[in-house]
Structure 1
């Protein structure tokens, strides 16, 4: 890549010392294969560590009563990020917040348990077909304001 079309500021941010910084997080295995794990922008910074949202979404998706989910951080009244999950229940599901928090605690530990869980009928999507976390974050802020 040589740069973003007509966006020199964005190009300067992404291109440093000849490297393209995508802000993707991954790991190399013993055979040299790269596995993309998450995006830095999708991590939630909590007091004591960071939560990879994709890990938490994978656990939520493992519940048979969940069709889809999106996890992100929202600032709380104390100014610290809190984990917020927006979930789309499967048809005829009776899953509730307590069940989902217990699932997360059992799989990942208390640190990952969402403080806020919102149920919805569908997630807004970006043009790329991914959950629009920017819009969801804004909606969550407006709901608590």
Structure 2
């Protein structure tokens, strides 16, 4: 890669010292295989540990009554980020917040449990069709009056 088309600042950030910095997070297994698990932007930094939002999303989507789930980090009044889940229930169903929080607690532990769960009928998408976490975060902050 030589750079991003007509985006010199992003190119300078991504291409440094001969390396392409992708902003992906991964883990190496015992055999040396790399598994990509999330993006740095999808990482919520907390005092009690980092939360990889893609992991929480996968657990939420494993519930049969959840069609889609997105987990943005949402700041409180003190700018501390909290795990918040936005879920699209399966057609014709609803799922209780308590059930989803307990599912995450059982699978991942307390650090990953969403402090809030917002149901929605559809997710806002970016121009390339990915869930728009920035827009979701904005909506949640507005709804909370912060």
Tell me, yes or no, whether TM beats 0.5.
yes
State the match for 1:15 in structure 2: 15
State the match for 1:129 in structure 2: 129
Whether 1:50 and 2:17 are equivalent positions in the alignment is no
CA deviation vs aligned residue, 1:41-66 (integer Å, no higher than 9, x gap): 01111112110001100100010010
SS at match of 2:71: strand
Structure 1 residues 107-116 or 22-31, which shifts more? 22-31
- Number of paired residues? 145
- RMSD, matched Cα: 1.2
**Separation in 2 of the partners of 1:62 and 1:117?**
16
SS at match of 2:74: strand
**Separation in 2 of the partners of 1:96 and 1:124?**
22
SS at match of 1:22: coil
Correspondence list, 1:1-145, <5 A? 1-145=1-145
Q: Which structure 1 residue ranges, 5 or more long, are not aligned?
A: none
**Separation in 1 of the partners of 2:18 and 2:28?**
21
SS at match of 1:99: helix
SS at match of 1:4: coil
